[in-house]
């Protein structure tokens, strides 16, 4: 099964986010790094919006809800669960793998 450009982009985004945060980089700083390294102007805009929403006090799931064409309901609910229950590494790893395996659209 061939992955769509969106699946590849989101898979790489979550994998990079996971590696940055696992290594101790704070979330906002991690998003700033991803923003600087992201080649797609359109996706940079999304990452910038996520960053700004978090900086203003929103939860990541709330910020993601503003982009339903980019973040599926499954992804938003997984992040919402991580926000409530913890297990960030597991949830973000599942997201990255899910996109890169073609499970998520």
Domains of the chain: 5-101 (1.20.81.30)
pLDDT reading at 96 higher than 90: yes
Burial of 54 (0-12, 13-18, 19+ CB in 10 A): middle
- What value does the mean pLDDT take over residues 66-87? 95
Predicted confidence band of residue 101 (pLDDT cuts 50, 70, 90): very high
* Other Cβ atoms within 10 Å of 43 Cβ, number: 18
Q: How many helices (H) and strands (E) does the chain have?
A: 6, 0
What is the pTM assigned to this prediction? 0.93
Q: Kindly tell me if the per-residue pLDDT of 1 is higher than 80.
A: no
Chain segment 38-47, per-residue pLDDT in tens: 999 999 999 9
The percent of residues above 90 in pLDDT, for the chain, comes to 95
Does residue 19 have a pLDDT over 90?
yes
99 to 15, 24, 53, 54, 63: CA distances (angstroms):
10, 24, 23, 23, 19
Sorting pLDDT into bands at 50, 70 and 90, what band is 104?
confident
């Amino acid at each position: 099964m061939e992955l769509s450009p969106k699946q590849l982009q989101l898979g790489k985004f979550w994998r990079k986010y996971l590696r940055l945060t696992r290594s101790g980089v704070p979330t906002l700083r991690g998003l700033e790094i991803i923003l600087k390294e992201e080649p797609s102007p359109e996706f940079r805009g999304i990452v910038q919006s996520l960053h700004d929403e978090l900086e203003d006090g929103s939860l990541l799931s709330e910020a993601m809800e503003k982009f339903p064409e980019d973040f599926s309901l499954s992804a938003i609910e997984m992040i919402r669960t991580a926000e409530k229950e913890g297990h960030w590494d597991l949830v973000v790893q599942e997201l990255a793998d899910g996109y890169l395996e073609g499970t998520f659209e």
